[in-house]
Amino acid sequence: MYIARFSYFVAPVDRKRAADLIRQEVAAAAAHQMKARLLVPLTRASGGAALQFEVELSNLDQFETFRECGLGSAEETREWIEDFSEILVCPPEVELLRVDAE
């Protein structure tokens, strides 16, 4: 199993809007039978992400599929990205992690 983690950097004034947009991502993942969650850091390092989104993947091919059409169609996903990019301070950080089953 793999985890894709997206770290989003937004201004405090845009945090609620960003959380609402990430909740759309969580719902879209659930619609694709994927486990996902919005992570809200209680503490963070200076310059750390304001919010994170994490989705479990059974294989790495799911990563590209979800990024391209995760919120329905490719067009709906592009519109979501455009909306989110209006409030992002910088591009999101993306991490791919493999879950160690040992």
pLDDT, one tens digit per residue, over 55-82 is: 999 998 888 887 776 667 778 878 888 8
Share of the chain above pLDDT 70, in %: 95
pTM for the model: 0.85
Closest to 77 (Cα-Cα) out of 86, 88, 66, 93: 66
In terms of DSSP bridges, do strands 36-39 and 51-57 run parallel, antiparallel, or are they unpaired?
Answer: antiparallel
- CB within 8 Å of 78: residues ≥ 6 apart: none
Residue type, 54: E
Task: With beta carbons less than 8 A apart as the criterion, state whether 18 and 6 touch.
Answer: no
Whether 46 has a pLDDT exceeding 80, the answer reads no
Whether 96 has a pLDDT exceeding 90, the answer reads yes
Range 47-53 average pLDDT: 85
Distance, CA of 102 to CA of 5 (rounded, Å): 21
